[in-house]
Amino acid sequence: MTRPHPRILPYGTAAIAEAATLIRAGGIVAVPTETVYGLAADATNAEAVARIYAAKGRPSFNPLIVHVADLAAAERIAVFDADALALAAAFWPGPLTLVLPVRAESGIAALVTAGLDTIAIRVPRHRSMQGLIAASERPLAAPSANASGGISPTTAAHVAASLGGNVPLILDDGATEAGLESTIVAGRTILRPGPVTADALLNHLPGEGRGPIGTSDVARHSADHHRPPIGPRPSPGGRAVTAPGQLDSHYAPSKVLRLNAIDADRDEWLIGFGDVAGDVSLSASGNLVKAAARLFDLLHAADANASARIAIAPIPFDGIGEAINDRLRRAAHR
């Protein structure tokens, strides 16, 4: 049950310790970063991550940014190329997020990346977020700590007004410095402009400044040609990179997926929920947070097993069920 008001604790050793205990128990905590307040959970715990989506009332699963203590921790989760290493050296800790291939053995819950094979990762500079990462000893998934569709919060009061009792604890460490979400870069494409500008990025990419990277999107974002990215853009490798919020290329199974199934047809692997037992269940007790936590893992497993097709039980549209249904509709679309 949610409480009407969140607990707001001023930054300090005791507050960090209490927040870390909550995180390690699979809970969620609002915590400032140098950009905006984030709603943090243990990125290795799928149910904890599902609680973030539930608290925000998100109608879909947008992949989340993972926050870690330093480059070494980031390298255990993602694969860095020369560009990424150069940008990390120049801007971490700080308001830059890198989208990189995720390691198979990263331990990060599939719900964090919404089943993608890339991960958005950053090393924050803020003492509160750094303190919470250190005390909880976990990589922290954290979207901005506002209700879905709301404005990103830059004070604890904003968080309380937007999320109310959906968040049990807010670490209050004053107003954030940047007030604008981190810059997101994939390859040499800016997916989201932010505090780290295109010019600053260009100055630190290998290849001696502008010349060799004149056709990159980072270059096109710099000084004279400033414009926000719109829609999918080709990356230098020729692979399409999709802008945040437009990720229709979310993981979809390669097999046919039939929705609202009560029984399995021949050749189908049935993913159950509640009364529909299936070959395996998202949640036999009908718990939607548990179902969200298992969704991507079970879809991946069903896609990989010997069955020819996949079917999935009806999922109610209540609360986080809306996001589950949104994801299933996309996964079933061919």
* First-last CA distance in the chain: 38
In the complex with ligand TXA, which residue's Cβ is closer, 65 or 132? 65
Partner from ligand TXA, Mg ion, none binding residue 191, C-beta < 5-8 Å depending on class = ligand TXA
Partner from ligand TXA, Mg ion, none binding residue 33, C-beta < 5-8 Å depending on class = ligand TXA
Q: Residue 130 has which token pair?
A: 């750094």
Using CB under 5 A as the binding rule, the residues of this chain from 311 to 330 that contact Mg ion are none
**Does the footprint of Mg ion cover residue 144 (CB under 5 A)?**
yes
Give me the least distance between CB of 72 and Mg ion, in Å please. 27
Q: Is the dihedral of CA 264, 265, 267, 268 positive or negative?
A: negative
In the complex with ligand TXA, which residue's Cβ is closer, 48 or 142? 142
In the complex with ligand TXA, which residue's Cβ is closer, 113 or 222? 113
Contact 216, 238 (CB under 8 A): no
Q: Which residues bind ligand TXA (CB under 6 A)?
A: 33, 35-36, 38, 62-65, 95, 97, 99, 113, 116, 118-120, 142-144, 181-182, 184, 191, 244-245, 247
Using CB under 5 A as the binding rule, the residues of this chain from 104 to 143 that contact Mg ion are none
Give me the least distance between CB of 44 and ligand TXA, in Å please. 16
Neighbouring-strand partners of residue 141 = 41, 66
Partner from Mg ion, ligand TXA, none binding residue 99, C-beta < 5-8 Å depending on class = ligand TXA
In the complex with Mg ion, which residue's Cβ is closer, 130 or 144? 144
# residues near Mg ion by CB under 5 A: 1
Partner from Mg ion, ligand TXA, none binding residue 113, C-beta < 5-8 Å depending on class = ligand TXA
* Amino acid making up residue 206: P
**Does the footprint of Mg ion cover residue 183 (CB under 5 A)?**
no
In the complex with Mg ion, which residue's Cβ is closer, 154 or 216? 154
Contact 41, 141 (CB under 8 A): yes
Sequence-distant (≥ 6) Cβ neighbours of residue 178 within 8 angstroms: 34, 35, 36, 95, 194, 195
Rounded Cα gap, residues 213 and 51, in angstroms: 41
Sequence-distant (≥ 6) Cβ neighbours of residue 198 within 8 angstroms: 190, 218, 219, 220, 221, 222, 223, 226
Give me the least distance between CB of 270 and Mg ion, in Å please. 35
Sequence-distant (≥ 6) Cβ neighbours of residue 228 within 8 angstroms: 193
Over its C-alpha atoms, the chain yields an Rg (Å, rounded) of 20
Strand order in the sheet with 140-141: 7-10, 169-172, 29-32, 37-42, 140-141, 65-67, 118-122, 96-101, 183-186, 189-192
In the complex with Mg ion, which residue's Cβ is closer, 106 or 144? 144
In the complex with Mg ion, which residue's Cβ is closer, 151 or 308? 151
> Of 122, 95, 105, 86, nearest to 44 (Cα)?
105
Contact 125, 176 (CB under 8 A): no
Give me the least distance between CB of 114 and ligand TXA, in Å please. 8
Output DSSP code: residue 243: P
Phi-psi region of 222 (alpha: psi -120 to 50; beta: other; left: phi over 0): beta
In the complex with ligand TXA, which residue's Cβ is closer, 123 or 313? 123
Q: Residue 263 has which token pair?
A: 């029984």
Give me the least distance between CB of 274 and ligand TXA, in Å please. 29
Give me the least distance between CB of 333 and ligand TXA, in Å please. 19
Give me the least distance between CB of 172 and ligand TXA, in Å please. 15
> Of 283, 288, 327, nearest to 113 (Cα)?
327
Partner from ligand TXA, Mg ion, none binding residue 298, C-beta < 5-8 Å depending on class = none
Partner from Mg ion, ligand TXA, none binding residue 98, C-beta < 5-8 Å depending on class = none
Residues that bind Mg ion (CB under 5 A): 144
